[in-house]
Amino acid sequence: MNSMRRFGHKHRSFTTSASTPSYSFPWISPLQFSKATHVQDSPTETSNTLVDSRRKSKFISHESAINLIKHERDPQYALEIFNMVAEQKGFNHNHATYSTIIHKLAQAKKFQVVDALLHQMTYETCKFHENILLNLMKHFSKSSLHERVLEIFYAIQPIVREKPSLKAISTCLNLLIEAKQIDLAQKVLLYVKECLKVRPNTCIFNILVKHHCKIGDLESAFQVLKEMKKSSRTYPNLITYSTLMDGLCKSGRLNEAIELFEDMVAKDQILPDALTYSVLINGFCNGGEVDRARKIIEFMRNNGCNPNLFNYSALMNGFCKEGRFKEVKELFDEMKSFGLKPDTVGYTTLINCFCGTGRIDEAMELLKEMAEMKCKPDVVTFNVLLKGLCREGRFDEALGMLEKLAYEGVYLNKGSYRIVLNFLCQTGKLEKTCELLDFMLSRGFVPHHATSNELLVRLCKAAMVDDAVTALFGLAEMGFKPEPDSWAVLVEHICRERKLLFAFELLDELVTK
């Protein structure tokens, strides 16, 4: 069967039983889509590889087709490969080839073509696994196409020819609840109950508990816990209790969280792990009770659960927020004494403490120690250091760091540059501010809108009108539009210097932009 016949079916809708929701995808042949949208360029390396492969072997296997599709960067060429191999006599696409091309197209957000392939899959005789559709649900969720998540869930039964598994139900529910699509999640539950006749498992109950805790409805969350205990097929586990404890802590009900912890251990005989303890440590730290959080670390060790890096990092952050920097350093040393190798978060927390107390040199020494320990600092670490240097007025070092790190392969974000620019502007270091602005724009980073306006006004009031105009031209190139007040100040100072032609040229440039 050639590829035109394979993709030439008339439009049909996905359908299930009479009680099952039905829907349809807009139909377009993947082959026609490719021809309609693809502009022929010179052959790519992959196309040559495909031709060479066909000349040598005369038949491209499923495995070879999958490799070709995976390694093709252009989704349109990948689709051509998918269609070309189907022209081979005796070749029929299977689950693996469909899965590969759908993943490739979904990554490129070619969802119209994906719809066509899904439509075709309902006519294929090969066996499909639901994983292909679970992955597609995640792609739609990332693209905020939440209705499509539900549609793909409904499509499992007609394509896979089996009811969705509990894993599929859990995946769909979790994606919708994470996206706060509660109405859609309720449709899933209704469909599961009335059409699939499937009884929820512990995983599904846990998703419901998480949902209720996220919206602060703890009474409903505990009602789900009661339903779980009533059921003969499900029972709450560590995830259930950890989620409930987290909800209680975030609501400031710390004592109830401890009581629930004790019930979990004493009544249900469920042993906590380091993640459960982290929930309590974070809860007490955020609730301003860091000393009680400190006792949880001791309790862990006394009860056979060794604290991990996350436990210590959470506690260090708690003490740091309280301004108790001595305890932060003690915890850092204690962590190392127990054989735990500090990670980037731990080092960054301590660096933040040193910077907060003006101990910049000690913070810089920690940066060296990280290199010795082969612990790579991230952009948060450098932003903390940049802010610390600027607070102490050590602008040359901050500027040097911005310039040097880029050549050392360290990726800084716009926040890194904005931190230094804001400090320079606010402290009146206008010449250095202009230099940094030029440097920022050359790397594609734009200052905050308010900072840009403030800089223009400050330059004008400092009689640096030429610099202000140069800055405005550079900012305008990046899409910046000055506030009316800033524009008025700029024009006023240009006119004072009798540069009317300059003002008109500037206005024309901005209007054109």
Residue whose C-alpha is closest to residue 248's, from 240, 256, 238: 256
pLDDT in tens, 196-243: 888 888 998 999 999 899 888 999 999 999 988 887 778 899 999 999
Listing DSSP states for 289-339 in one string gives -HHHHHHHHHHHHHTT----HHHHHHHHHHHHHTT-HHHHHHHHHHHHHTT
Low-confidence ranges of the chain (pLDDT < 70): 1-58, 497-513
Q: Please tell me the predicted confidence (pLDDT) of residue 183.
A: 87
**At residue 127, what are phi and psi to the nearest 5 degrees?**
-90, 125
Residue whose C-alpha is closest to residue 95's, from 132, 69, 123: 132
214 CA to centre of own chain? 18
Note the pTM of the prediction, 2 decimals.
0.64
User: Cβ(283)–Cβ(306) under 8 Å?
Assistant: no
3-state DSSP call for residue 14?
Answer: strand
Mention every residue, 6+ apart, whose C-beta is less than 8 A from residue 258.
280
Residue whose C-alpha is closest to residue 133's, from 92, 108, 163: 163
Between 274-286 and 238-250, two packed helices, what is the crossing angle to 10 degrees? 10
Q: Which two tokens stand for residue 417?
A: 């540059």
Q: Whole-angstrom Cα distance, residue 31 to residue 235?
A: 50
Would you give the end-to-end CA distance of the chain in angstroms?
Answer: 55
pLDDT in tens, 11-51: 333 333 333 343 333 333 444 444 434 433 444 445 555 55
Q: Please tell me the predicted confidence (pLDDT) of residue 500.
A: 58
Residue 207: CA count within 13 A, CB half-sphere = 24
Residue whose C-alpha is closest to residue 401's, from 417, 425, 418: 417
Mention every residue, 6+ apart, whose C-beta is less than 8 A from residue 279.
242, 245, 246, 249, 257
Q: Whole-angstrom Cα distance, residue 476 to residue 471?
A: 8
Distances in Å between the Cα of 448 and the Cα atoms of 38, 440, 475 are: 40, 12, 11
Strand partners, 14: 23
Q: Please tell me the predicted confidence (pLDDT) of residue 61.
A: 92
User: Cβ(313)–Cβ(328) under 8 Å?
Assistant: no
| Single-letter code of the amino acid located at 57 | S
Q: Please tell me the predicted confidence (pLDDT) of residue 214.
A: 87
Counting Cβ atoms within 10 Å, is residue 267 exposed (0-12), middle (13-18) or buried (19+)? exposed
User: What is the DSSP code (8-state) at residue 23?
Assistant: B
Q: C-alpha angle 87/91/92, rounded to 5°?
A: 100
User: Cβ(445)–Cβ(417) under 8 Å?
Assistant: yes
Q: Please tell me the predicted confidence (pLDDT) of residue 3.
A: 36
Q: Which two tokens stand for residue 143?
A: 């693209």
| Single-letter code of the amino acid located at 25 | F
Where exactly are the structural domains of the chain?
203-269, 450-513
Residue whose C-alpha is closest to residue 270's, from 224, 227, 229, 237: 237
| Single-letter code of the amino acid located at 209 | V
**Own/partner pairs for 203-207, CB < 8 Å, 24+ apart?**
203/166, 203/167, 203/170, 204/166, 204/169, 204/170, 204/173, 205/234, 205/236, 205/240, 206/237, 206/239, 206/240, 206/243, 207/170, 207/173, 207/174, 207/177
Q: Please tell me the predicted confidence (pLDDT) of residue 215.
A: 86
For the chain, the average pLDDT equals 84
